[in-house]
Amino acid sequence: MKGKKILYSIWLKAAAFAVCIATAAAAAGAASEAISGMRNGSGYRPGEAFDESNAVVIQLDNGMYSLVSAVTDSDTSAVFDKTDLDSSGLEYYAENLKTGKVITNTGDKNKSSYSSGGPLSDMVSGLYVTAEKKNNEWSIEGNTAVQNRYLGSSLLIYKDAPPVYSGDSDTEYSEEYAAEAASERVPLDDYVVYLRFSQDKASEMLTLWQNAQSVVDDALRAIPAYAVLFILAVVYLSFAAGRRAEDDEIHLIAVDRVFLDISALVMAAALILAFLGVSFSTTAPPDDDIYRRYAILAAAAGSAVIVTCWLSIVKHIKNRTFVQNSFVCRAVRWLWRLFVRLVKWVFIKLPGKIKNAYLSLKALAAAKMSYIVMLVASAVYMWITVLIAWLTGALLYESDSISAFFVVLCLALIAAPVLLIFRTLKGYDGIRDGLKRIRGGETLHKIAKEGSVITDAVAEEINDIGDGLSKAVEQSVRSERMKAELITNVSHDLKTPLTSIINYTDLLMQETLQPEEANDYVKIIGQKSKKLKQLTSDLFDVSKARSGSEELELESIDYKLLVTQSEAELDSEIQKAGLEFVLDLPDGDVRINADGKKLSRVFENLIMNAIKYSLRGTRVYIDLRTHDDICTVEIKNIANYKMNFDDDEITERFVRGDASRTGDGSGLGLAIARSYVELMGGKFYIKTDGDLFKAVIEFRTDTMNG
C-alpha cells in the first residue's frame, strides 16, 4: 500500500509532468542551437568534412564559373567586377590562351602552387580548384564536391550550351533537334583557371567550422537524451494516469470531460505550434537569441498541452469510455452497425422478401387468373371490334362521323356482357373468401351480394349454411358447458357424503369388530372411499379448468426454484420407487408469469405419474431449457408397460396409458396438468418414442422481471 501511495502520489506525477515540459524545452533549445550553428557562416553539416561544407564549395564553385565566364568573354570591352572574389578571400589566376586575356590578383600562374605547397601547405586539402581547356577537351582538379557539380556538364566547354537528347522518352527534345543544336554550339576559347583560398581566409573559415561542429554535435547528442527522458516520463504518467492508491478505479478530472476528438485537434495544434517555434529559428540571424527563446517557450507550452490531452485519452482507454467520448468513434460504430444491418438485409431479408413477393404475386395471379384472362380477352375483342367498326364506316360510308357512331355502338354492346362477367367473377371471389372464413370458424360471416344472378343465389345458400353451423356450434358449446357444470355440481355434492363415509370409517377402524373379517372390510371401505374422494376432487378441478371458471393468481415466479422444490417434496416417494431423478437446469435466473400453486400441482402430477409408471431402477430426467423467449421443461422416463396410445388422446379425461388399468390412477392427472398449463397461457403435450415417455411444458419467459 505504501508503494502504491508513492507510485500514484500527486507529487511524483507533477514531477514527471515537469520533466516532460523541461525536456521538451531543452530539446527545442538544443535544436535551435544546432540550426544556428549550421547557419553561422561556416556551412557545417553533421558528418561532412571541412572541404565539403557549403561555405567552401559554393565560393569555389561561384569563383570558377565567374572566372571562366570573364576570361572567355568575346566582348573584350566588358568590365570584370572582382569584388566578390576578393571579398571571399580567394586567390586566383585566369588566362584566355587564345586572346591572352589575364585576370589575377596574385600574378602567380604556376598551377602547382595552387594545388600543393604555397600558403595552403599546412591546411586541409580541398580548398582549391584548377580547370584547363585545350582543343575542346577540359580537365578539372581540386575540391571533390566542385568537380562533381561539373561532371557531365558542357558549360565549361561551350557557350550557352543547349540540352542534349538523352534517349529518355519523357524528354521534350527530339533527337533531330539535339543534333541540330549540337551543330550550332559555340565552343569557348581555350583557357586556364586556378583559384584557392588565402591562408588567413582558410584559417578563419576553419575556426568557424570547428566551433560550429562543436556546438552542433553537442546539441545533437543532447536531443536523444532529452527525448529518452521525455518518453520515460510520458510512459510513467500514462501508467499512473487516473490511478489513486486508495482504490483501483479510474478517476477523471474536468479536462477529461472534453470530447477526445477535440483533445486530438488541440494536440495537433500544439504540435504544429511547437514545430513552428523551432522552425522560426532557421530564418533568424545567427546572433539573434530571441528566436531561440520563442522556440523554447513554444516547445514547453506545446508539450504541456500535448501531454495533458494524451493523458486524457489514456484515462478514457483505461476506463473503457473511449468510444463514448469520441464523435469519430461513434460515427464509425454507427456506420459499421448500419453496414452490418444493410448486409444482413441484402443477404438475409431481401431474398426472403423477394421470394414472398414472388409467391404473393403468383398467388394473386392464380387467384385472379379468371380476371386477367377475361380482361385480356375483352381488350383484344374490344380493339378488334373497334377496328372493324371504324373500317366499316370509313370504307363503306367514307365518313368519320359514321365510323365514330359504329365505334360507340360496339363499345356499348361490349360493355354490358363484360360488366356482367366481371360481376360474376367478383361474386365468385367473394364466395371463395367467405367459405375460407366460415371454414376457419367465422360461422357468422355473411357473403356480400355483387349483383350477379348466378353468384348471389349461391351466396344466399352459403349464408344460410353458416347460420346453421353457428347454431349447431352454439348448441354444442352450451351442451359442453352444461356437462362441465353437471360434473362440477355432482363432484361438489359427492364431497359431503364422502367426507361422512370416510369419518365413520375412521371411527370403525378404531374399534375391534366381530367377526374378525369385519376389520378388513372396514379398511377396504376406507381405502376405496379415499380414492373416490381423490377422484371426485380431480374431476372437480379439471371441470373447473376446462369450463374457464378457475381463478388464477398470475405472478412472476422463479421457474428453477419451483422445479427443484417440486422434486424435493416427493423425494421420499422417489426413494421408495427405486428411481433416480436427474435435473439439468441452466445457469442464471429463469422467470415466468404463472400461478405458482397451480403450476406446483402440475409438476406434482407429472412427477407422481413418472413414479407410478417408470421402470424400476431407471433414471427420470427433468431438463429446463431456454431459447429466445421460450422456456421448455421436459420430464422423461422409461415406461414399465407397453405404450400403445395416441400422444394427443392421452391428455384427455379418464384416458390412461396403462390399458389394463392395473394401477391406482384415475386417468385425470395429465388432463389436469394440460388444463392448468393452457389456462396460464402455456403449452403442454406428450411425446413417446418406444418405451420413452416425455411430457413437455412450454412457457414464455418473463422478460420484464427476468
Three-state helix/strand/coil letters over 102-115:
EEECCCCCCHHHHH
Is it the case that residue 446 has pLDDT exceeding 70? yes
Q: How far is CA 250 from the centre of its chain?
A: 27
Tens digit of pLDDT for each residue in 272-299?
Answer: 777 776 666 655 555 556 667 777 777 7
For residues 235-248, average pLDDT: 78
Sheet containing 102-104: order of strands: 102-104, 90-96, 191-197, 128-134, 137-142
Q: Which of 20-34, 91-105, 217-231, 288-302 tops mean pLDDT?
A: 91-105
Among 355, 482, 374, which Cα is nearest to 425's?
Answer: 374
Kind and range of the H or E element at 186? strand 186-187
Question: Which one has a higher pLDDT value, 538 or 333?
Answer: 333
Output the CA–CA distances (angstroms, integers) from residue 129 to 68, 148, 156, 199, 204, in the order listed: 12, 12, 14, 15, 19
437 confidence band (pLDDT: 50, 70, 90): confident
Question: Which one has a higher pLDDT value, 216 or 665?
Answer: 216
Is it the case that residue 219 has pLDDT exceeding 70? yes
For residues 331-336, average pLDDT: 84
Q: Which of 249-258, 372-381, 650-659 tops mean pLDDT?
A: 249-258
Is it the case that residue 655 has pLDDT exceeding 70? no
For residues 314-333, average pLDDT: 78
Give the per-residue pLDDT at 493.
63
Question: Which one has a higher pLDDT value, 700 or 158?
Answer: 700
Q: Are 225 and 232 in contact (CB under 8 A)?
A: no
Give the per-residue pLDDT at 672.
77
Task: Give percent of the chain with pLDDT exceeding 70.
Answer: 69
Task: Give percent of the chain with pLDDT exceeding 90.
Answer: 3
Q: Which of 33-37, 91-95, 393-397, 458-462 tops mean pLDDT?
A: 91-95
667 confidence band (pLDDT: 50, 70, 90): low
Strand partners for 634: 623, 696
Question: Which one has a higher pLDDT value, 133 or 498?
Answer: 133
67 vs 188: CA distance, rounded Å: 13
Q: Are strands 580-584 and 619-627 parallel, antiparallel or unpaired?
A: parallel
Give the per-residue pLDDT at 171.
46
Tens digit of pLDDT for each residue in 481-516?
Answer: 666 666 666 666 666 676 777 776 777 777 777 787
Q: Are 644 and 651 in contact (CB under 8 A)?
A: no
Is it the case that residue 629 has pLDDT exceeding 90? no
Q: Which of 67-71, 157-161, 404-408, 674-678 tops mean pLDDT?
A: 67-71
Phi, psi at 130, each rounded to 5°: -125, 135
- The whole-chain average pLDDT of the chain stands at 75
Is it the case that residue 169 has pLDDT exceeding 60? no
Tell me the one-letter amino acid at 626: T
Burial (0-12, 13-18, 19+ Cβ within 10 Å), 7: middle
For residues 116-144, average pLDDT: 76
Tens digit of pLDDT for each residue in 639-651?
Answer: 887 777 666 656 5
Is it the case that residue 74 has pLDDT exceeding 70? no
pTM listed for this prediction: 0.42
Tens digit of pLDDT for each residue in 296-310?
Answer: 777 788 788 888 888
546 confidence band (pLDDT: 50, 70, 90): low
Output the CA–CA distances (angstroms, integers) from residue 682 to 585, 671, 679, 697, in the order listed: 19, 14, 7, 7
649 vs 686: CA distance, rounded Å: 9
626 vs 701: CA distance, rounded Å: 8
Give the per-residue pLDDT at 192.
93
Output the CA–CA distances (angstroms, integers) from residue 525 to 494, 509, 531, 540, 664, in the order listed: 16, 10, 10, 22, 15
